[in-house]
Structure 1
Amino acid sequence: MTTLPTYRYTPGPLHATLLAGSVPLFLGALLSDIAYGQTYQIQWANFASWLIAGALVFSGFALLFALVNLLRARPKAGRPTVYFLLLLAAWVVGLVNAFQHAKDAYAMMPTGLVLSAIVTLLAVAATWTGLTNLRSGDAQ
């Protein structure tokens, strides 16, 4: 019986920190948008803009790490590809969300709130996929 080697491309400590760090920033932006929608205090919109900018930096670097992991994966399909595509989608929607938040305070509503919810869900899905045993090369 021949055993095939298992090639694991789990995120390293820096990659995992960047990946997991984007979730609370996107979530904070969503909560700030909700607070702005209820109070109309402009500072909540400013908080959301800064949190989105920080999340884009974190997820952008995590996206670079994910691209390297994808290029190193033996078969170019499966979970490394799904992980990269989820993270790319989260980053692109986050960038669109940042542009939406750059508008005047109330002009960003309700589109900014909806985009914040979507990007938060995408970031959680990407983080879940990225931190749960990305494997390439085995049948499990």
Structure 2
Amino acid sequence: MHIQPKAVGRYPYRTVLVPVPLVAFVFALVTDILYWRTSVLMWQNFSAWLLLGGLVFGALAILAGIVDLLRPNSKYYRPSWAGALCYAIVLLLGLLNSFVHAGDGWTAVVPGGLILSALTFIAIILTLWLSAASPLSHEWRTLHD
């Protein structure tokens, strides 16, 4: 697959926002582990806020992705269906995890929230792997080296 020169300047908007929920959900796992090991309530609160921030930026990334679909020449930078599906699964796991973290005290994190955070992390790794394995990501890298 070859990218046409006029498409090179069309960097997708969603790529600015997609990393934010991924990083927020990874840090939510870290703060869940810290809460599990220390029982300091501050870590549960950090997890809840990280999950909320990840969900807000995830929704903004979806809106930016819709805008990208409507832009001319956007077909060159569309994610694969598998990558988009994995990203949606990450956001759904983050939403479910946020509902679990809305509970009170220890049972809001251990074990349910911690397990959901770990599952979200695994889904993030799969999403990143699918995105990096995309033929377009290889072509993009070779164009800008």
Code of the residue aligned with 1:87 in structure 2: it is Y
Identity in percent: 29
Count, aligned residues: 128
1:74-89 counterparts in 2 under 5 A? Answer: 80-89=80-89
| Contact 1:70 1:81 survives alignment (8 Å) | no
Is residue 121 of structure 1 aligned with residue 130 of structure 2? no
Structure 1 unaligned runs (5+)?
Answer: 136-140
Code of the residue aligned with 1:43 in structure 2: it is M
State TM-score, norm by structure 2: 0.72
Q: Which has a greater percent of helix?
A: 2
Structure 2 unaligned runs (5+)?
Answer: 137-145
C-alpha distance in structure 2 between counterparts of 1:59 and 1:130, whole Å: 16
Is residue 57 of structure 1 aligned with residue 52 of structure 2? no
Give the direction of change, closer, same or farther, for the CA distance of 1:39–1:103 in structure 2 (3 Å limit). Answer: same
Give the direction of change, closer, same or farther, for the CA distance of 1:85–1:67 in structure 2 (3 Å limit). Answer: farther
Code of the residue aligned with 1:106 in structure 2: it is W
Cα RMSD of the aligned pairs, angstroms, is 3.0
Residue equivalent to 1:97: 97
State TM-score, norm by structure 1: 0.74
| Contact 2:29 2:118 survives alignment (8 Å) | yes
RCO higher in structure (CA 8 A, sep ≥6) = 1
